[in-house]
Amino acid sequence: MPWLTTTQMVEVDRAMIEDYRIDLTRMMENAGRALALLASRRFLDPSPVGARVLVVAGPGGNGGGALVAARRLHGWGAAVHVVTTAERDRFTEVPRRQLEILDRLAVDVRRESDIVGLPKPDLVLDGVIGYGLRGAPKDAAASAISAIARSAAPVVSLDVPSGVDSASGVVHDPAVRATATLTLAMPKRGLRAGDAAACVGELYLADIGVPPELYRRSLRIDVGPIFASGDVLRVG
């Protein structure tokens, strides 16, 4: 299985949308569903019903995937609380629609400053910052990551533990030390570089619908049908 650079993942995202017309909404739905499945099967067994789940979401695509997982877990009976690291008008378009759906479902959504007043969770989902991280987290993102770090609950990070540079493996301060990480499409090289491994925890890989043909045509990599046995695979 190839481990991709951040530059290669940017190209995968571009090709998905521009060349194959598989839009961000579909990718986000696939990522969020996989995150909810991993959370439920690995950490909320035998059932998510009644489990307290805290979802921490940033304003970009990573946060949008976490919001999809919040919706799915809410539908499966979990007691879901969402905290965001930005005002709603700072969310990009597709993640903002996910927030609107949660509003219509009456899921509890608050800003990160309210995180200390929430019930102690059984599980935390980290969707603060993905592979777009540039430098150490700041302001509300840094505050949210620090709050996650103080939690005694297991943490599942989406794609990359927030605060970890997926290109270099540099672990910034603050950074999430995840119990498990669900990375998307293909593993990122930075997840096994530098000090990153200590923050990744158990490493899983989610199918977000990238056609194997895309890797051959855009990256000249032959990956084959690696998800033939399931949507979520453990890879580390």
- What is the reported pLDDT for 189? 94
Domain boundaries of the chain, sorted by first residue: 6-234
Q: Domain 6-234, what fold? A: Rossmann fold (3.40.50)
- What is the reported pLDDT for 117? 85
Q: Is the pLDDT of residue 132 over 90?
A: no
For 85-130, how does the pLDDT look when each residue is reduced to its tens digit (9 = 90+)?
999 999 999 999 999 999 999 999 999 988 888 999 999 999 999 9
Q: Is the dihedral of CA 19, 214, 66, 101 positive or negative?
A: positive
For 162-168, what is the mean pLDDT? 93
Whole-angstrom distance, CA of residue 27 vs CA of residue 209? 7
Q: What 3-state DSSP class applies to 125?
A: strand
Q: Is the dihedral of CA 125, 127, 129, 130 positive or negative?
A: positive
Q: Would strands 202-206 and 79-84 be described as parallel, antiparallel, or unpaired?
A: unpaired
Q: Are 126 and 159 in contact (CB under 8 A)?
A: no
Q: Global pTM?
A: 0.95
Residue 137 exposed, middle or buried by CB count within 10 Å (0-12, 13-18, 19+): buried
For 2-60, how does the pLDDT look when each residue is reduced to its tens digit (9 = 90+)?
999 999 999 999 999 999 999 999 999 999 999 999 999 999 989 999 999 999 999 99
Closest to 185 measured CA to CA, from 168, 204, 198: 204
